[in-house]
Amino acid sequence: MTKAEEKETAQNLLNEIKRLSAGLERPWRFMEVCGTHTVSIFRAGLRQMLPGQVELVSGPGCPVCVTPDDYMDRAIAYAEREDVILATFGDMLKVPGSSSSLGEAKAAGADIRIVYSPLDSIQVARENPDKKVVFLAVGFETTAPTAAATVLEAERQGIGNLYMLSAQKLVPPALRMLMSDPEVRVDGFLLPGHVAVVTGTEVFRFVAEEYHMPGVVAGFEPLQILYALLLLCRQAAAGEARIENAYGSVVRSEGNPHSREVLGKVYETADAEWRGIGKIPVSGLRMKEEYARSDIERAVPLDLESKPKKTACRCGEVLRGIVTPRECPLFGKACVPTHAVGPCMVSVEGVCAAWYKYGQGVFRFGG
């Protein structure tokens, strides 16, 4: 598609969205629950392009952002042990715990290695047989199968010094929590394409069937997002609620059975704490008993005292779409990417980071 064709297609989609939303008593509010969608929407300036009767709000779709203080405190405590090497993705270094961060622990001498895949930690463990190598397994359904595959591969290779500190989260239970929260007001969901590649679309059926809420699985290019928003508008205008797949080139209704099989071998569901939101039933993953040897919390248990942290950060409300980052008193002042107070400003997929970096930008199709 040429730039001119892209611009024309975008304008046609926007015109139809405007037509469908004209004359509404109140705007439709659609929530994207994927951090990559949040960044793509801001980078393309889609919020500024949409008519005033269509609002976009961001949800808890950034795994780094919803990782709670106590998990970070445990990660820091393990990193500070002489017999441990911590392996993690780089964006975890700045996530604040109750009183410190991994970046500060690394500066103080902790052996923390940046890896680009959980599988990279196998090589770190092989090269350091006298150390316990702990990988921070943080993510959603998208990355959890790779963590599970890493455990299975380490077992196959006979590597016994690799462990997981798990904090994976599941998206569907979070959606159920949002729809049951009286403070959250949305009219439909832009569903996460990357997650749906693994889970398929069937896991989201309850959104429409139980809560009569439209949902559309979307891709990540500006035109793909606009098309998914148009489908949401059509459902909202007709008073309908169903799950549609606007990312059919990648997502299947059954998802990826192999990834789910690997995940099911190593992990089982469990209640999980979400930063700023609280405990959500069966929204997390824990390692099954047969893989307890690879679970650092069972192999080397810690006795950490909980340290509640008082802060004016409104990250929890931002993650539920109740307020925008600009309504947080710290945003752009005490809390900026180089000195983040809350996790929503830390990750490149964080809502606050996207607002800070792209909030004023407008992308022009064909320009």
- Model confidence at 366: pLDDT above 70: no
Q: Give the C-alpha separation, 213 to 204, whole Å.
A: 10
Matching residue, tokens 């976009």: 56
Identical fold between 3-59+172-245 and 69-170+255-299? yes
Paired tokens of 80: 């500070």
Q: What digits encode the pLDDT tens for the residues 325-347? A: 999 999 999 999 888 888 899 88
pLDDT band at 305 (very low <50, low <70, confident <90, very high): confident
Q: What digits encode the pLDDT tens for the residues 207-231? A: 999 999 999 999 999 999 999 999 9
Q: Among positive and negative, which fits the CA dihedral 40, 45, 49, 52?
A: positive
Q: What digits encode the pLDDT tens for the residues 55-83? A: 999 999 899 889 988 999 999 999 999 99
Burial string for 95-129 (b: 16+ CB within 10 Å, else e) reads bbbbeebbbebbeeebbbeebeebeebbebbeeee
86 in Cβ contact with 102 (< 8 Å) = yes
User: What pLDDT, on the 0 to 100 scale, is given for residue 306?
Assistant: 67
Which DSSP state fits 165? E
In this structure, CATH architecture of domain 3-59+172-245: 3-Layer(aba) Sandwich (3.40)
Q: Which of 281, 252, 287, 282 is nearest to 267 (CA)?
A: 287
User: What pLDDT, on the 0 to 100 scale, is given for residue 209?
Assistant: 97
- Model confidence at 37: pLDDT above 90: yes
pTM of the prediction? 0.92
Q: Identify the CATH class of 69-170+255-299.
A: alpha beta
Q: Give the C-alpha separation, 318 to 60, whole Å.
A: 8
Q: What digits encode the pLDDT tens for the residues 238-250? A: 999 999 999 999 9
Q: Per-domain residue ranges for the chain?
A: 3-59+172-245, 69-170+255-299, 315-357
Question: Taking residues 141-147, what's their average pLDDT?
Answer: 96
Which amino acid type is present at position 301? P
